[in-house]
Amino acid sequence: MQILIIEAVLLLFLIFITIAIIFDPDLFACTLLFCAFSFCAVLTYLIFGSPDVAFTEAVIGTMSTVFFAVALKKVDRWCKK
């Protein structure tokens, strides 16, 4: 029963983070939120018992966060509406 609550909380975090990424005009904040999304996904995969997928998500999430942060040096930080 306790695992189901943790899964539900992680799913809600994933949904809220996704909504925050969609509506946030600050690209650096979106990059950090993407990192948080990746971390929640890793925890979800570990709870479901697939450490290989969790490891892959951790590596790809970390690399893409670094690439996004480096790319933000070349562009404007704020989205224009």
Structure confidence at residue 80 as a pLDDT band (50, 70, 90): low
Q: For residue 6, tell me if it sits in a domain.
A: yes
With left for phi above 0 and alpha for psi between -120 and 50, is residue 69 left, alpha or beta?
alpha
Integer Cα distance of 70 and 54 in angstroms: 24
Q: For residue 34, tell me if it sits in a domain.
A: yes
Q: For residue 78, tell me if it sits in a domain.
A: no
Q: For residue 81, tell me if it sits in a domain.
A: no
What does the mean pLDDT of the chain come to? 90
* Full-model pTM: 0.84
Q: For residue 77, tell me if it sits in a domain.
A: no
Place of tokens 């040096």: 73
Using alpha carbons, select from 44, 50, 51 the residue that is nearest to residue 12. Answer: 44
> Total structural domains in the chain?
1
Structure confidence at residue 79 as a pLDDT band (50, 70, 90): low
Single-letter amino acid, residue 12: L
Residue-wise pLDDT for 30-43, tens only, equals 999 999 999 999 99
Q: Residue 36: which domain range?
A: 2-72
Higher per-residue pLDDT: 64 or 73? 64
Q: Are 28 and 77 in contact (CB under 8 A)?
A: yes
Q: For residue 15, tell me if it sits in a domain.
A: yes
